[in-house]
Amino acid sequence: MIRSVTSISAPLPFAVAVAVAAVGLTGAGLSTAADAPATAAKPSPPADRIERGRYLVDTGGCGDCHTPLKIGKKGPEPDLARLLSGHPEALKMPPAPKLPAGPWLVTVAATNTAWSGPWGVSFTANLTPDAETGLGGWSAKQFADTMRTGKHLGVGREILPPMPIPAYKNFNDVDLEAIFAYLQSIPAVKNRVPTPVPPAAEATAAKK
């Protein structure tokens, strides 16, 4: 039984990968972006790449942290008007409560978008294509480099917990390209996420 299931399903990922690669080739063949000025509109990626990206973002749980929760009729629910737009700019967080000594380590905002721990306070990033406050100005390569190295744009500051870089750095190139294509296809939300608060500054603020 198991053997027959395996033999049916085994060729599938290969077939999918070939299909994706073929689409990528077609896209590159049609594109004249290499010679175009940087200001030209980006050619839109094929619909199946965006769809694959949506699937990876949904299964990868990006929205758990990057889409703020709001209180709905049955309790907290993702605020879909702010899909993947990160910690809401208007929600100014007071200093995190100081935890007693013991095994509790982290506190999190009701939105699930601000996290306090030994690293200070981190706020989930705006992943929408807004040019000023989101990933609108990013290239697919900068996105992939960020996810692989755990550094902003692949070269900047270290990305703090709880962003699961140790898991996501294992996405392959095709997956990262698909995730980026999907993120660039969702509605842009203008939302400037605060910069992280280092542990020392957090401790000083809490004493006041």
- Which residues here bind ligand HEC, judged by CB under 6 A? 57, 60-62, 64-66, 115, 122, 124-125, 127, 146, 152, 159-160, 162-164, 168, 179, 196
Nearer to ligand HEC, 85 or 124 (CB): 124
Minimum CB–partner distance for residue 74 and ligand HEC (Å): 22
Which of 119, 134, 121 minimizes the C-alpha distance to 91?
A: 121
Beta pairing partners, 207: none
**In angstroms, what is the minimal distance from the CB of 20 to ligand HEC?**
18
Closer by beta carbon to ligand HEC, 22 or else 58: 58
- By beta-carbon proximity to ligand HEC, the closer residue of 20 and 147 is 147
All residues at 6 or more sequence positions from 107 whose CB lies less than 8 Å from its CB, including other chains: 96, 97, 99, 115, 116, 117
Q: How far is the CB of 151 from ligand HEC (least distance, A)?
A: 8
Tokens 């550094």: give the residue.
Answer: 151
Question: For the chain, how many helices (H) and strands (E)?
Answer: 8, 5
CB of 208 to ligand HEC, least distance (A): 23
Dihedral, CA of residue 68, residue 72, residue 77 and residue 82, to nearest 10? -40
Q: 50 with 178: CB under 8 angstroms?
A: yes
Nearer Cβ to ligand HEC, position 91 or 159?
159
